[in-house]
Amino acid sequence: MTNNVNDFKARLTQAGITLNEPITPAQLQTPWFVRALQAFSGWLAALFLLGFIAMGVVFVAESPAASLGSGLVMIGAAYGLFRKARSDVLEHLALAVSLAGQLLIAWAAVAFWSESAYPFWSLLGWSLLALQSVLAVVMPSLVHRTFSAFSASLALYMALAVNAMAPVVSGIVMLALTMLWLNEFRWPGRIRDVHAWSYGLLIGLLVMQGVAHIGQSFAFWFDAQNTNVFAWSGPWLNAVLVALSLVLLLFYTLPHPKIHWGLYLSPIGLLLISFYAPGVGQGLMVLLLGFAMSHRLVMGLGVFSLLMGVGSYYYWLDATLLTKALTLLILGGVLLALRWALRKWLASLKPTTKGVADEE
């Protein structure tokens, strides 16, 4: 481990980077699954805490104003705890208090918007999106930021699903995710925050894909679906946003002047794939993003998303299985032909890259 670090430092020094003496000691990063455990127990505790509030202090649950007020006070208290928290126990307590506070605010929003003339789910979605976005930025806790980013993506889904624009949300989240990863090192003091938001959005993206996969069981929520005049544009907008994410990725990570022109056609390919099989396009984009960032976990989730996308494609009702089979046959043939052409091109390029063609 120490040798690796020294090799790495030597490489940086060779590249002309002057390394300072460390100002702070090296911090060991908490593994993602420990954070997940923390969030899991925080949620579980928050649910029981909420049960306590609902039973013990009934007037809070019965009055939207009291519910809202207590929710805000609890989130404020959680903020204070997070600021002071120097131990995991306090951080944990703060998380549970904040989650219970958020549930109380959501409860107040449900009571408040249910009497409104506008679509209820849309109003609820927008208000939760605003709340979670603020919390994701403000709360000084990585677990909280991840959770809030995740909830914000689902709230946006809820807000837009009523207008039959749910497919666009995946595209918006994908674009946000790409921009976050591409700017990972832009603010050196906020690298961990960027990671926390990215993980939250990525989990949200996968959950939305899962919801789309089991699809119709949620239709009763959104009775206004398909009545919107812009409904047709949803899948297209999603495809355009996913393709735009690839354009950004190529632009920022491949500034190499000798890039083959064919690569510039890839966003168009991704656009078409994302339109006809949104899950496949999304999975591919996450996979490419993970590779570009050298992030194995993101790559693994990309493969998972890709497999889930292929599964959804089977149940896609707008085309017969015969059409799908022929599409896949042509696609498979084109991809293998592309690979063959790529190897030919690499082999003809120069001796140093020729090795790629033989390497497995």
Per CB under 8 A, which of residues 98..117 are in contact with another protein?
none
* Options 51-59, 61-69, 158-166, 225-233: segment touching another protein (CB under 8 A): 51-59
Size of the site for another protein (CB under 8 A): 91
Contact criterion met (CB below 8 Å) for 283 and 308:
yes
> Smallest distance from the beta carbon of 125 to another protein, in angstroms?
28
Which CB atom, from 231 or from 349, has the smaller least distance to another protein? 349
Distance CA 305, CA 279 (A): 7
> Smallest distance from the beta carbon of 230 to another protein, in angstroms?
32
> Smallest distance from the beta carbon of 283 to another protein, in angstroms?
10
Q: Taking Cα atoms as reference points, which of 113, 101, 54 lies closest to residue 77?
A: 101
Other C-beta atoms within 10 Å of 102: how many? Answer: 23
Q: Which of 22, 216, 220, 318 binds another protein (CB under 8 A)?
A: 22
Q: Does 236 bind another protein (CB under 8 A)?
A: no
Segment 327 to 356, residues that bind another protein, using CB under 8 A: 327-329, 331-336, 338-339, 342-343, 346, 352-353, 356
* Residue found under tokens 């500034």: 255
Segment 254 to 283, residues that bind another protein, using CB under 8 A: 254, 256, 258-259
Using the Cα atoms of residue 334, residue 338, residue 340 and residue 344 in order, give the sign of their dihedral. Answer: positive
Q: Taking Cα atoms as reference points, which of 74, 78, 112 lies closest to residue 95?
A: 78
Segment 135 to 194, residues that bind another protein, using CB under 8 A: 185, 188, 191-192
Q: Return the structure tokens found at 101.
A: 């506070």
* Options 60-68, 146-154, 169-177, 324-332: segment touching another protein (CB under 8 A): 324-332
Q: Taking Cα atoms as reference points, which of 309, 168, 181 lies closest to residue 246?
A: 181
> Smallest distance from the beta carbon of 254 to another protein, in angstroms?
7
Q: Which of 10, 41, 226, 348 binds another protein (CB under 8 A)?
A: 41
> Smallest distance from the beta carbon of 106 to another protein, in angstroms?
18
Q: Does 207 bind another protein (CB under 8 A)?
A: no
> Smallest distance from the beta carbon of 247 to another protein, in angstroms?
16
**Phi, psi (5° rounding) for residue 132?**
-70, -35
Q: Return the structure tokens found at 225.
A: 């679906």
Q: Does 317 bind another protein (CB under 8 A)?
A: no
* Residue found under tokens 């994410």: 245
DSSP H helical ranges for 139-258: 142-161, 166-182, 191-214, 233-253
> Smallest distance from the beta carbon of 232 to another protein, in angstroms?
26
* Options 34-42, 125-133, 145-153, 156-164: segment touching another protein (CB under 8 A): 34-42
Helix count (H) and strand count (E) of the chain?
15, 0
Distance CA 342, CA 357 (A): 9
Q: Taking Cα atoms as reference points, which of 106, 97, 101, 111 lies closest to residue 125?
A: 106
